[in-house]
Structure 1
Amino acid sequence: MTILTTEGLTKRFPQVTALDRLSVNVGPGVTGLVGANGAGKSTLIKILLGLVEPTEGTGRVLGMDIATQGPEIRRVTGYMPEHECLPPDISATEFVVHMGQMSGLPRAAARERAADVLRHVGLYEERYRAIGGYSTGMRQRVKLAQALVHDPKLVFLDEPTNGLDPQGRDEMLALIRRIGTEFGISVLVTSHLLGELERVCDHVIVIDGGRLLRSSDIGDFTQATQTITVEVEEGQEPLAARLTELGETVTVHGRLLLLSVRGDETFDAVRDAVCDLSLNLVRLEQGRQRIEDVFRENAHV
């Protein structure tokens, strides 16, 4: 099943090409759209919503043509914009109810749905306070709530962790994952922070300068590498020396030892060396390639 698709999508502005013959297919679940600032992520979302006309190319969202069915697309999708857009002098409840009505819900249904989504995003106790008194994290949650209030089939989340501290980012990412797993709503989420998307996405699309670099399932990006990481409480240097004596290739990386895997014998060597030296093993894990590594490799092609 395809949630959205583009074919040769191009958008040229007078001074820049925001999208350059972009062709992608997105299935259900949580899909990450990765790229540096200015890579074309926000432009792509606006085109998919029928808010901006492409220069060339075609696209469909939930089977609807982006060129002719923009209002229909917006009726069944949610959009959390990157920019600050909330009215400061009304409450979260008033705003989310209003947005629900704008999406076609009767007022009674909009009020019921607003209470539900504000509870889901963790603002239920604060829902009657004026938005102007909210923290950045609370305002981001209001934007997320209004994107969900009409029970869309697909939501577009543009840089939802912008401006958040580490705890706020973790909480927002957990909410995004719940949307995809518990609510059954498909998500397209953009970010320039590559590591975030490894934690929440099923599929990742990497773009740079409006061009597609790669589109793959998250497992293809984060494949196991032929490296293991070893950490002990104390005795790092004796352990490195013993493993080197046993024929292993060892690199010291801060408190960690990185070993090239020759085969099962590498794991056996670590076990035996730790036991022989009576060390406390903190970590033994196989390395994984990160999205950031793949992005760097592709960017230099």
Structure 2
Amino acid sequence: MSVITTDNLTKRFPRVTALDHLTVEVQSGVVGLVGANGAGKSTLIKILLGLSPATEGTARVLGLDVATEGGAIRERVGYMPEHDCLPPDVTATEFVVHMARMSGLPATAARERTADILRHVGLYEERYRPIGTYSTGMKQRVKLAQALVHDPQLVLLDEPTNGLDPVGRDDMLGLIRRVHSEFGISVLVTSHLLGELERTCDHVVVIDGGKLLRSSSTADMTAYTAMLAVEVTERQGEPEFDADAALLARLAEAGLTATVDGGHVVLVELTGDEVYDVIRDAVADLGVGLVRLEQRRHHISEVFAVNPAVEEEVAHV
């Protein structure tokens, strides 16, 4: 089922076109929206929420027209903004209850839903502390809680891992997956960290300069390549020995095509199953340790290869 559809959606400002005839269809599930700063992601979210009118084209969210049914859309959609927008002097419980009431829940239901959702995001024990005393990760969880408290059909999460350390990012990504798997809520999540989208999303939409670059399943974008990634250790007691160069030479002698892909990863063209045996024998003959031998996957960042400036801004953040 489509949760978001746009048809020739265009948004122009006096000196810039933020969205340029964007036509895309987003199915239910966990969908990633990626693009460089200025690509049009935030503008698209504002239009989808009915907060900003489009210049041209149409868009529908959960079957509702964004131009005429913005109020109904916001009743059914949760939104987690990117920037810190939480009042520091109120507790998480007070804030989330308030947001639940703003979404139309009665007082009793709002309190019950708040307790449930704060438990879900891991803040139940800290729910009566002022938000101003929270860490960045806890504040992000409060923003997620208020987006979920009214039991929406769809949530829009704008850079939900912003400012988090690696452990905090993993925890947040796990919560996002559970939003869909346990509650059946569809998710549209924006992120500059493409590795997060590869691990979290079922489908990825890539935009640049307000235009659609690609929309396809994550599995298609990260399909296996015809290359093996090989990583080996240096030879013990011989720090001057270049294991990568020696391995390349051995593989070349065996008639294989291989290169070094930055760092210490040797890429070998996979022409048949016998390639595995050749690599194994070469590693054993050289007396080095085998750290990794796996078939390489494409990365979402390769979508941006046609635009090096965008690739540098997005893929390496």
Structures share a fold, TM > 0.5?
Answer: yes
Structure 2 gap segments, 5+ residues each: 236-242, 311-317
Query: SS in structure 1 opposite 2:2?
Result: coil
Query: SS in structure 2 opposite 1:180?
Result: helix
When residues 162 and 147 of structure 1 are mapped into structure 2, their CA distance, relative to the original with a 3 A threshold, is same
Structure 1 distance, partners of 2:307, 2:151, is 37
Aligned to 2:87: 87
The Cα offsets for residues 56-103 of structure 1, whole Å up to 9 and x where unpaired, read as 111111111111111111101100011221111100011001111111
Q: How does 1:56-205 map to 2 (within 5 A)?
A: 56-205=56-205
Aligned to 1:207: 207
Structure 2 distance, partners of 1:296, 1:173, is 26
Pairwise CA distance, 1:255: 2.9
Aligned to 2:299: 290
Structure 2 distance, partners of 1:46, 1:167, is 30
Asked if the contact 1:213–1:299 (Cα under 8 Å) also holds between the matched residues in 2, the reply is: no
Structure 2 distance, partners of 1:15, 1:136, is 35
Aligned to 1:247: 255
Pairwise CA distance, 1:230: 1.2
Moved more, 266-275 or 175-184: 266-275
Q: TM-score, normalised to structure 1's length?
A: 0.94
Q: How does 1:6-17 map to 2 (within 5 A)?
A: 6-17=6-17
Structure 2 distance, partners of 1:225, 1:138, is 39
The Cα offsets for residues 215-271 of structure 1, whole Å up to 9 and x where unpaired, read as 111111111112111123344344433322211222234332221222222122112
Asked if the contact 1:10–1:55 (Cα under 8 Å) also holds between the matched residues in 2, the reply is: yes
Pairwise CA distance, 1:300: 8.4
Structure 2 distance, partners of 1:288, 1:93, is 44
Query: SS in structure 1 opposite 2:183?
Result: coil
Structure 2 distance, partners of 1:191, 1:148, is 19
Aligned-pair Cα RMSD in Å: 1.8
Pairwise CA distance, 1:137: 1.4
Aligned to 2:240: none
Identical amino acids, percent of aligned pairs = 69
Structure 2 distance, partners of 1:248, 1:127, is 60
Structure 2 distance, partners of 1:299, 1:206, is 15
Query: SS in structure 2 opposite 1:3?
Result: strand
Aligned to 2:282: 273
Pairwise CA distance, 1:176: 1.1
Moved more, 254-263 or 183-192: 254-263
Aligned to 1:218: 218
Structure 1 distance, partners of 2:112, 2:231, is 51
Structure 2 distance, partners of 1:167, 1:121, is 15
Q: TM-score, normalised to structure 2's length?
A: 0.90
Query: SS in structure 1 opposite 2:249?
Result: helix
